[in-house]
Amino acid sequence: MKHFSIVVPTCNRPESLKRLLSALADLEYPAERFEVIVVDDGGRFPLGPIIQDCRERLNTVLLRQPMTGPAGARNFGAANAGGRNLAFIDDDCRPASGWLQALERVLDESQSAVCGGRVMNGLIGNPYSAASQFLMDYLYEHYSPLTTPGAFFTTNNLAVARSEFLEMGAFDPELRFGEDRDFCYRWAMRGGRFRFVPEAVVWHFNDLRLSSFIRLHFQYGGGTASFRSRARIKHLDRVRINPPSWYLKLILSGVRTRRDLSGVVLSLLLASSQAANTAGFLWQRLSDLAARASSRTGGSALE
């Protein structure tokens, strides 16, 4: 049995996937001890040639499915994986050479733990990408799954034993955004442990512009609303909402950590991200309420 199965969902980003596979082939980890499961989630580009080009250096399996979203793609990969442990990464990421070694060390020490590594921005000159990663770093520091139920490790750098992942019911495929938060919350509710592995580094090349930055955080807000709705359906305890002071500290952390114009820009982007997040949250809640009202009236409200 392989020690690791690395699961990569992908959709219409062949060049990003090619760069990721090249980085995985350069890992300082015995090639015979891991496999890479690439799940083509309804993409329109043929990935066979890309997989074939790296097969001499990398044990790679290509799976295809109709588009279901990243959660469903990750579940499909995990269900077909042969490794004892699962390591999840995204196609717009590249791991440091010691990534799997660091995850292996902690998983061997802490059985029955969800491990999350450190994610770093790979586009230093992009202020939108930098702001998004700064936000995630702030979350890890001030809202960590090690101490706070409802906090989470992101699925672009997360590892867990395959048997326990499947026993937990895997990711919720109904969630387009927030499936990592949902999984970590269910894990926490059953008393599962978490380990942060800062040595397991993944670089994230999330090439954002202002419009895509706002859209991304709007979608994150919608994902939070959907996560809370799904938690209620699953009869899980309600997740505590942070007080306004927590968000104010987040926004001001830009100017507090950078005493120049870049800090002002960062704080403005953080404020914009939270405004977009709130708008997405409210939009999703209103959509859910409208859908429930429609179902109670047999759809007549929309006819």
- Tens of pLDDT, residues 271-291: 999 999 999 999 999 998 888
Segment 140-146 mean pLDDT:
88
| Summary mean pLDDT of the chain | 93
Nearest CA among 281, 152, 290, 262 for reference residue 222? 281
Distance CA 228, CA 185 (A): 10
As a whole-number percent, the residues of the chain with pLDDT over 90 amount to 83
The owner of tokens 């987040």 is 250
Inform me whether the pLDDT recorded for 160 exceeds 90.
yes
**Residue 144, exposed/middle/buried by CB under 10 A (0-12, 13-18, 19+)?**
middle
pLDDT tens digit sequence for 5-46: 999 999 999 999 999 999 999 999 999 999 999 999 999 999
| Structural domains of the chain in order of their starting residue, each with its CATH number | 2-208 (3.90.550.10)
pLDDT tens digit sequence for 213-259: 999 999 999 999 999 999 999 998 888 888 899 999 999 999 999 98
Distance CA 209, CA 128 (A): 6
Inform me whether the pLDDT recorded for 202 exceeds 90.
yes
Distance CA 285, CA 174 (A): 15
- Give yes or no for a contact between 130 and 210, defined as CB atoms under 8 angstroms apart: no
Q: Looking at residue 239, what is its pLDDT?
A: 85
Interior angle at CA 201, CA 198 and CA 206, nearest 5: 125
User: How does residue 299 score in pLDDT terms, banded at 50, 70 and 90?
Assistant: low
Q: Looking at residue 141, what is its pLDDT?
A: 87
Q: Which amino acid is at 68?
A: T
Distance CA 99, CA 157 (A): 9
Backbone angles phi, psi at 43, to 5 degrees: -70, 160
Distance CA 131, CA 145 (A): 21
Interior angle at CA 241, CA 237 and CA 244, nearest 5: 165
Q: Looking at residue 303, what is its pLDDT?
A: 37
Inform me whether the pLDDT recorded for 180 exceeds 50.
yes
